[in-house]
Amino acid sequence: MEIINVSLPDGSVKQYPVGHTALQIAESISHSLAKRVLSALVDNEIWDATRPISKDCKLKLLTWEDDEGKATLWHSSAHLMAEAIEHLYPGVRFWVGPPVENGFYYDIDTGEEKITLNDLEVIEKKMMELVKQNHPYIRKEVSKKEAIEYFKDKKDPYKLDLLEKLNDGDITFYTQGSFTDLCRGPHVPDTGYIKGIKLLTVAGAYWKGDEKNKMLTRIYGISFPKENELKEFLHQLEEAKRRDHRKIGKDLAFFTFSENVGMGLALWLPRGTVVRYELEQFLRKIQNKNAYQPVVTPHIAQKQLYVISGHYEKYGKDSFQPIRTPQEDEEFFLKPMNCPHHCEIYRSLPRSYKDLPLRLAEFGTVYRYEQHGELHGLTRVRGFTQDDAHIFCTNEQVKGEFKKVIDIVLKVFEVFGFKDYVAQVSLRDMENKQKYIGKEEAWEKAEQSIIEAAQEKGLKTKIEYGEAAFYGPKLDFMVKDAIGRKWQLGTIQVDYNLPERFELEYTGADNQKHRPVMIHRAPFGSLERFIALLLEHTGGNLPVWISPQQVAVLAISEKFNLYAEKVVHLLSENNIRVLSDDRNEKIGKKIRESELMKIPFMLVIGEKEKENNLVSVRQHKVGDVGSMSVEEFIQHIKNIVENYQ
C-alpha cells in the first residue's frame, strides 16, 4: 500500500495510507478530536474533512475554534437552509450563499413567493428536521458541460451566470439530501454537525450588489456545533440589545430625536450635554498641554470655499443644498468638515517654519447629508461635532506629530478602559500609485514615518495596502468594546491635497516658500459617535467624573428634606453634580430609580445622619458601603473624580 507523509502543525510528520481523509487522520489521533473536526487545511487550501488525501501534505485540522472551521459549518448551514427553502417553496432560485463574519446568508429569488420574518421559524424547523437525517455532504467534480446541463434542466439562470466565469475542470457540485449546489466547498461531513440554528433576519440585496439589478431576498442566519453555544449567542444578542446606546440614551435622558427637527439630527438633553461638556473639557486639557490652539469657525461658508477645497465638485449634488440669500447668486453651504475653514485661518497670516507645527483645534459641528437608510442612532447622523484638529507641519515633522497624537489616543483608551486595540496603517496601493495626489518622496517619507511612529509607540500594527485616501496615508485604531465588538476610533490622517488647493505656504530657513503638510486628527471621531460607543462599552455605567449626575441625595422621609438640602448645598459648592430626590416616596423606591438612572452614589439620609452630620453612602451596583461625614464623602468622591487619569 502506498504511503503519504502528513506534517502536522506541531511539526510532527505521520504516515498514512493514500486516500486517507483528514477525518480518519483525526480519528487516529483521538476520537474526541475527530468529533470536533469540521474541515481541514491541506497545503493551505481548505478541504472537506472527508476528502481523500493522496499526496504528501501539510495538514491542519479545523474545528470550531478556527475561523475557517466556523466558515465551513456556516457554509454548510447555508446549503441546508437552501434545501429547507426548496422543500417549502419549490421553484425558488438561488444566487449565492456564503459564510460571513457572524453566520451565513443565502440570496434567493423567491419569484412570486414572499418570505418574511414570520416564515423564518418554519424554515428553521425544516432545517432541524433535515439535520436529524444526517445527510452527508457529497462532493462531486463535474465538467462544465454537465454543470450547465444540470442547471439548464433546473431552469436556474443564476447558477448558469456563475458558471460562465468558471473554468472547466474547476467545477464541483455538493449534494446533501435532495439539494445540489454549485459549490467550491468545503463542507462538514454531514448535516448532523449543525446543532443550533437561528435564522436572524430577512433583507433585500441587489443581485451582484448593483442597484440596477433585481432585488433578491437575503436570509441571514447563524449556526453552532453545540446547542448551548447557540444559547450563549442569543444571550449575547440580548446583551448587545440591552447595551444599545439608543435605548440607554433614551432611558438615561441623554438625547432624543424629533421628526420636526429632522432625521439624523440629535437633540441633546441636559444629562447628555453634561457628558459632552466633560468630554470636551477632558480633551481641551490634553490639547492645551500639547500646544494646540483653539479656534472657532462658522457653521456655514460661501460656495467658493468648497470650490477651492474640491468638496463642491465631489459632494455638491449629494449634500445639503445651498442656502440662498436675498443677494442674487449668493450661495452658502453648511460645513461638512472643518478643514477648509482651518486652512483659511492658516492663510490669514504669513507663516514661517518657526510657526510649525501649527495645531488648530475646534469642536466643530458639521453637517452631512447621509443617505436615509444609513442613519443609525448617534453613530451615523446628519449633524455631529468632531473633536477636530489640524496640524500644519513639515514633512519631517510628520513622525513626531503622529507620535504625539498617538499618545493622546492611547490616553483616551486608557481613561475609558479600552484595552484591546490594533493600529491600522493605511498605505497606497503600490501597484497603482498614480491615483494618489502629492509627491512620491513625500508619500514615501510619510508612510515610513507613520509605520515608525506606530512601532516606536509599541503599537500592535496592521498594515493595509491600498486603503489610503487619494490625498494621504492614515493611521486609525480598531478597538474592541467590553462585549467584543469592533469599532474604528481615533483617526490620524495625512493630507497633501488641501494645502495644495489652498496654496498654503510657509517661509523656510532658506527664505524660500514651502508647502506644509496637513494632518487631520480626531481621537473621539465625533462626540456623538464616541458617546454612543461609550454607552455601549460601559452599558451606561459611566465613570464618575463624566456622569451627568454623580450623587443623589435620598431623604428617608420629608422630615429630613431640610438636612438633605444642606448636604446638596455642601456638595454643589465642591463642584459635585448632585440632586436631591425630595419626593414623598419610600426610600426603596428612590433607591431603585437612582439605580436605574445609574447614578454612581446615593446618599441615604434619615434620623441618624441628621443627628450626627453623616451620610449613608450607597454605591451604584455595589450597595450600602456604610456611613461617613459629609466632608469625608466629599473628599472620597473628589479623589475618584480627580484620579480618573
Residues known to be catalytic: 339, 368, 386, 388, 390, 474, 520
Q: Does 204 bind RNA (CB under 7 A)?
A: yes
Measured from the CB atom, the residue of 68 and 355 that comes closer to RNA is: 68
Residues 554, 616 contacting (CB under 8 angstroms)? no
- The Cα 571–Cα 556 span in angstroms is 19
Residues 6+ apart with CB under 8 A from 8: 14, 59, 60
Q: Does 181 bind RNA (CB under 7 A)?
A: yes
Beta bridge partners of 530: none
Q: Does 269 bind RNA (CB under 7 A)?
A: no
Q: Which residue has the cell 446549503?
A: 79
Q: Does 259 bind RNA (CB under 7 A)?
A: yes
Q: Residue count of the chain, please give it.
A: 645
* DSSP for residue 167: P
**Closest of 179, 103, 105 to residue 138, by C-alpha:** 179
Binding piece for RNA, criterion CB under 7 A, among 328-336, 420-428, 462-470, 577-585: 577-585
Query: What is the CA 168 to chain-centroid distance, rounded?
Result: 41
Options 7, 290, 302, 627; binder of RNA; rule CB under 7 A: 627
Q: What is the smallest separation between the CB atom of 374 and RNA, expressed in angstroms? A: 5
Q: Does 374 bind RNA (CB under 7 A)?
A: yes
Measured from the CB atom, the residue of 460 and 586 that comes closer to RNA is: 586
Options 623, 629, 631, 632; binder of RNA; rule CB under 7 A: 623
Three-state DSSP class for 68? Answer: helix
Measured from the CB atom, the residue of 56 and 558 that comes closer to RNA is: 558
Measured from the CB atom, the residue of 202 and 274 that comes closer to RNA is: 202
Beta-sheet strand order (sheet of 300-302): 300-302, 331-334, 323-324
Q: What is the smallest separation between the CB atom of 569 and RNA, expressed in angstroms? A: 20
- Residues of span 147-166 touching RNA by CB under 7 A: 162, 166
Options 168, 239, 429, 607; binder of RNA; rule CB under 7 A: 607
Write the interaction track for RNA spanning residues 78-97; mark x where CB under 7 A is met and - where it is not. ------------------xx
Q: Does 604 bind RNA (CB under 7 A)?
A: yes
Options 274, 356, 542, 602; binder of RNA; rule CB under 7 A: 602
Q: Does 39 bind RNA (CB under 7 A)?
A: no
- Residues of span 440-499 touching RNA by CB under 7 A: none
Three-state DSSP class for 50? Answer: coil
Residues 484, 475 contacting (CB under 8 angstroms)? no
Binding piece for RNA, criterion CB under 7 A, among 27-35, 417-425, 441-449, 550-558: 550-558
Backbone torsions φ then ψ of 380, nearest 5 degrees: -130, 110
Options 32, 155, 588, 642; binder of RNA; rule CB under 7 A: 588
Three-state DSSP class for 492? Answer: strand
Residues 94, 181 contacting (CB under 8 angstroms)? yes
Binding piece for RNA, criterion CB under 7 A, among 222-230, 385-393, 499-507, 606-614: 606-614
Measured from the CB atom, the residue of 48 and 609 that comes closer to RNA is: 609
* DSSP for residue 376: B
Q: Does 242 bind RNA (CB under 7 A)?
A: no
Residues 322, 333 contacting (CB under 8 angstroms)? yes
- The Cα 580–Cα 565 span in angstroms is 7
